[in-house]
A and B are shown apart, each in its own frame.
Chain A
Amino acid sequence: MWSDFIIIGIYLALMFVAGIFFSRNIKNTADYFLAARSAPWFWIMGSVWATNIGFLHGYLAHGGAAYEWGLIQANFEWFQGPFGYILTGIFFIAFYWRASIYTVPQFLERRYGSGLSVVYSLAWIVIFIVTIAAEFYLGGIFLKNILHIPFWPTVLVLATVVGTYTLLGGLGAAIMMEFVQFIIMILGTMPLLFILLHMVGGIFGLKEVMLTQWGISPQYFTVLPDLHHPYGPGPWIILGQCFVVTLGWCAGHQSMVQRNLGARSIYDAKFGYVVAAIPKTLGAFLYSVPMVAAPIIFARSGIFVERADASYGKLILNLLPSGMLGLFIAGLLSAGLSSISSVLNSTSTMIVKDIYERFLVRGRSDHHYFIAGRIATFGIIAASLLLVPVVLKVYLIMWLEQTLIAMVLGPFMGVLMLAIFWRRTNATGSLVGFITGGIFAIFLQQGLGVRVFFQISWWSFVLTFFVTMVVSLLTEKPRLEQVEGMTWDSDFRSKVGLILEERAEKKGIKVTEISRGDLRRPPWYLNIKYWATAILLLQIVLLLFFG
């Protein structure tokens, strides 16, 4: 046991020191919020995935939900996740990157004006604070169960470590740490799958015990269950989650997008996002599949599980030998800390750039906003800690977070798709559509008692889409500067123009002197479309096998 404590202690100390080390290079807001736009694609890939996968979206909450509802939870990794990564990488990231923005609301502001951007920022700031509280809660119960240390001191230590390196180092520190954590996560947590499957006799042995001997529902082993499933009906997963929430999450979640805004080029931003779908697919084997097998181990070995969210911690505590357990916990802490750190950084970016700088204190020095970012980070940690007790009362944390997100992302995808694919959409239409969709989502959840968040996201998306279209048609056209270079049909020209200008500048010649040879594409093995196709084929194979 002491060896585990030593490994975890060394890991936490390294994270702490690294944050202080990276803070030396931070001089202004671009360094702090966008890592000086210097990240190559493989950093982006690791960082996007490590941001996505944490205690909440990954090991503990996804693992807990997989224990509770079965293989259905794997659809986040095998189906909708890669789908969202690829579509966002191909269709949306280029718009954000070229617009030289810090936040997604800034993109909305350029396209639609400030009204929608402020509403969107405020909605996300609230969700992010709840998200961080949920991460602290999950980290706290995990370490309480594993190391037998009290809940609150654990949460405070986590908050101190992650707060320090995010507060000091900004996005640059977060991205670099996340890349290291990405490797630790995979190497540290993968052995669990093999140990577990060996114990239960493989996937087929597992099914044999559960379906034949225990007589449980076959829907526990289905990725896309039938329409009456209480947690995730298959058709709604495709409509509400795949096309709306996950796509909206990948294209509209500030933490996910901010990693790409820190990329050194458009290509790195797009390619990094698309290939992040590979580790995303792998994720299901790290936490969803093991947790489907977990009930057999719990029942056979007499392991007590007090609630679904604690099941992952209980499993590894009883299965892994000392030493390996420490490495595993370091991997899990990596996941949790990287997610908390990125959401922290993104929330402070939105507070400073979208609210403070625009409405509260304008025209101050860059250094002023840089300090404001650090103070905001501290404030967010404090607010999140206060929310932890509220989060503790929720029966399945995954459900709470996804419901909140579904309420925002349904309307968001409605206005974002129209922003990019329909020039006629204007500021009034988008604002009315977004607010109508948001209110409708709340009515569905609170008024009609709709419990499946996939349905909430889909219907609020549909309503937003049509209300935005109708109101836009009834009001005046957007100005040329609001659409040129911001919509899909005007994008191609500006893209080629920018590439030409960039290359001419590097060579010190005029744009007209650029030869065709300068417009060469990357080699085939780095072609985004080939990788995207291969990843989507892999999803089809997985779906056919696990259906």
Chain B
Amino acid sequence: MRKIVFSLWLVSLFIFAGLTVAQERFNDVRQKVADSLTALKTSVSSGDFENAQKHLDQAVSIWESEVKPMIREGVKSNEQFREYFERMDEVDRRLANLSQMLKTQETRELESEVNAVIWGISHHPRGFNVPQPRYSTWDWVFGLGIGIGFCGLAVVFGLYLRKSYYRRYKRQGEDSVLKG
């Protein structure tokens, strides 16, 4: 019996694990683009432009064939893809810039351009886009009402507790009688 239960548990673990693969896929392909671009930076810093071009081609290939289709498909059903969808044009433009820089071997801005591409395919904090603080009259009424109400309730409750305590246990010198 124990073996059967253990086997069932193991089988269900593998089935569930399979479901997570697609979820991880989108992260993994973007990671590959980032890794290729990081390798590009290393190659350029050692003056190996031929290798750098290979890494850029690899990054562009994964971006075009895997990441972009996933984003286009994903945004139809999942709002979490929206941020990447909106940055697709910017990433395309910067990748084209990188290609141009490698051709002309003009590398002053190359590192910041690579970093911008990686940041473009990364997840950005949602807190960046929270609207500026805006308080309405209702907010003030609501806030102050609850604040003052809460303090009032605390005072009333405290006085009630004090009264009920001394009703049950008399002050010093008085008879201390325990009531139910």
Residues of A within 8 A of B (CB): 67-70, 72, 151-152, 214, 216-220, 222, 225-231, 235, 239, 295, 298-308, 310-311, 382, 385-386, 388-390, 392-393, 395, 421, 423, 480, 484, 488-490, 492-493
Residues of B within 8 A of A (CB): 9, 12-13, 16-17, 19-20, 23-24, 26-27, 30-31, 33-35, 37-38, 41, 80, 111, 114-119, 121-135, 139, 142-143, 146, 150, 157, 161, 164-165, 168-169, 178, 180
| Contact B127 A421, beta carbon cutoff 8 Å | no
Name the A residues within 8 Å of B80 (CB-CB): 395
| Contact B130 A229, beta carbon cutoff 8 Å | yes
How many angstroms between the C-alpha atoms of A299 and B119 in the bound complex? 5
| 13 interchain pairs, CB-CB under 8 A | A69-B125, A217-B128, A217-B131, A218-B132, A219-B133, A239-B150, A302-B115, A304-B34, A304-B121, A306-B123, A311-B123, A386-B9, A393-B23
How many angstroms between the C-alpha atoms of A489 and B79 in the bound complex? 54
Main SS at interface, chain B: helix
Given contacts A421-B161, A423-B164, contact A302 B30 (CB under 8 A): no
| Contact A382 B121, beta carbon cutoff 8 Å | no
How many angstroms between the C-alpha atoms of A228 and B133 in the bound complex? 8
| Contact B30 A388, beta carbon cutoff 8 Å | no
- Taking a contact as CB atoms closer than 8 A, the residue among B17, B115, B116 that contacts A389 in the complex is B17
Given contacts A214-B128, A306-B31, 4 further A-B pairs with CB under 8 A are A216-B128, A220-B128, A235-B143, A490-B168
Name the A residues within 8 Å of B38 (CB-CB): 302
How many angstroms between the C-alpha atoms of A469 and B180 in the bound complex? 19
| Contact B133 A218, beta carbon cutoff 8 Å | yes
| Contact A70 B27, beta carbon cutoff 8 Å | no
Closest 7 CB pairs of A and B: A304-B34, A302-B115, A306-B27, A226-B133, A70-B127, A389-B16, A69-B127
- How many Å from the CB of A304 to the closest CB on chain B? 3
Specify which of A72, A229, A230, A389 lies most central, judged by the most chain B CB atoms within 10 Å of its CB: A389
How many angstroms between the C-alpha atoms of A310 and B27 in the bound complex? 11
Name the B residues within 8 Å of A228 (CB-CB): 131, 134
Given contacts A219-B133, A421-B161, contact A392 B23 (CB under 8 A): yes
Nearest residue in A to B16 (C-beta to C-beta)?
A: A389
Name the B residues within 8 Å of A490 (CB-CB): 168
How many angstroms between the C-alpha atoms of A489 and B161 in the bound complex? 7
How many angstroms between the C-alpha atoms of A493 and B31 in the bound complex? 65
Name the A residues within 8 Å of B131 (CB-CB): 217, 219, 228
| Contact B130 A230, beta carbon cutoff 8 Å | yes
Name the A residues within 8 Å of B111 (CB-CB): 302
Name the B residues within 8 Å of A68 (CB-CB): 125-127
| Contact A303 B19, beta carbon cutoff 8 Å | no
- How many Å from the CB of A229 to the closest CB on chain B? 6
Name the B residues within 8 Å of A484 (CB-CB): 178
| Contact A220 B125, beta carbon cutoff 8 Å | yes
| Contact B119 A220, beta carbon cutoff 8 Å | no
How many angstroms between the C-alpha atoms of A386 and B9 in the bound complex? 8
- How many Å from the CB of A111 to the closest CB on chain B? 15
| Contact B130 A220, beta carbon cutoff 8 Å | yes
- How many Å from the CB of A140 to the closest CB on chain B? 10
How many angstroms between the C-alpha atoms of A229 and B135 in the bound complex? 11
| Contact A220 B127, beta carbon cutoff 8 Å | yes
Given contacts A306-B31, A307-B27, contact A388 B146 (CB under 8 A): no
How many angstroms between the C-alpha atoms of A447 and B98 in the bound complex? 50
Nearest residue in B to A222 (C-beta to C-beta)?
A: B133
How many angstroms between the C-alpha atoms of A393 and B23 in the bound complex? 7
- How many Å from the CB of A212 to the closest CB on chain B? 14
Nearest residue in A to B23 (C-beta to C-beta)?
A: A392
| Contact B130 A302, beta carbon cutoff 8 Å | no
- How many Å from the CB of A148 to the closest CB on chain B? 10
- Taking a contact as CB atoms closer than 8 A, the residue among A151, A302, A310 that contacts B41 in the complex is A302
Name the B residues within 8 Å of A235 (CB-CB): 142-143, 146
Name the B residues within 8 Å of A220 (CB-CB): 125, 127-128, 130
Name the A residues within 8 Å of B157 (CB-CB): 421
Specify which of B33, B38, B125 lies most central, judged by the most chain A CB atoms within 10 Å of its CB: B125
| Contact A226 B17, beta carbon cutoff 8 Å | no
| Contact A302 B119, beta carbon cutoff 8 Å | yes
| Contact B118 A303, beta carbon cutoff 8 Å | yes
Name the B residues within 8 Å of A493 (CB-CB): 169
| Contact A489 B165, beta carbon cutoff 8 Å | yes
| Contact A227 B125, beta carbon cutoff 8 Å | no
Nearest residue in B to A299 (C-beta to C-beta)?
A: B119
Name the A residues within 8 Å of B146 (CB-CB): 235, 239
| Contact B13 A385, beta carbon cutoff 8 Å | yes
Name the A residues within 8 Å of B26 (CB-CB): 306
- How many Å from the CB of B144 to the closest CB on chain A? 10
- How many Å from the CB of A448 to the closest CB on chain B? 18
Name the B residues within 8 Å of A311 (CB-CB): 123
How many angstroms between the C-alpha atoms of A204 and B106 in the bound complex? 35
| Contact B16 A388, beta carbon cutoff 8 Å | yes
Nearest residue in A to B138 (C-beta to C-beta)?
A: A227
Name the B residues within 8 Å of A152 (CB-CB): 17
How many angstroms between the C-alpha atoms of A392 and B142 in the bound complex? 38
Name the A residues within 8 Å of B27 (CB-CB): 306-307, 310
Name the A residues within 8 Å of B168 (CB-CB): 489-490
Name the A residues within 8 Å of B169 (CB-CB): 489, 492-493
Name the A residues within 8 Å of B121 (CB-CB): 304
Name the A residues within 8 Å of B37 (CB-CB): 302
Name the B residues within 8 Å of A298 (CB-CB): 119, 122
- Taking a contact as CB atoms closer than 8 A, the residue among B24, B30, B126, B135 that contacts A226 in the complex is B135
Name the B residues within 8 Å of A310 (CB-CB): 27
